[in-house]
Amino acid sequence: ETGVTQSPTHLIKTRGQQVTLRCSSQSGHNTVSWYQQALGQGPQFIFQYYREEENGRGNFPPRFSGLQFPNYSSELNVNALELDDSALYLCASSWGTGELFFGEGSRLTVL
């Protein structure tokens, strides 16, 4: 148990829809990172939030957006879903640049 909780654990959407994934960071952690893990692949960095501001972004289009709240929890929003967005979305929290602790992920299936 890392103390990082994600919801929902599984969800199914159709192409063109929008999805919001949520993450509660471990107590005391002020930084949240999001990763996308396609089946059989390693995780890919989407973006990171530190003190409610985006602090770095990977090679993902603008329809991937996020938020961090004052309690350091975070949301990942994906608009105009595509089939290739089907993946496990992992949230990781940390204190500054310390060790990342990953949640169990939200598995998104786009039909």
Give me the residues that bind another protein (CB under 8 A), please.
2, 4, 31, 33, 35, 40-45, 48, 50, 55-56, 58-59, 90, 92, 94, 97, 99-100, 102-105
User: How far, in Å, CA of 93 to CA of 69, rounded?
Assistant: 13
Q: Which is nearer to another protein, 13 or 58 (CB)?
A: 58
Q: How far is the CB of 77 from another protein (least distance, A)?
A: 20
> 12, 87 in Cβ contact below 8 A?
no
Q: Which is nearer to another protein, 19 or 29 (CB)?
A: 29
Q: Which is nearer to another protein, 1 or 80 (CB)?
A: 1
User: Tokens 């957006």, residue?
Assistant: 65
Which of 37, 6, 35, 3 is closest to 23 using CA atoms? 6
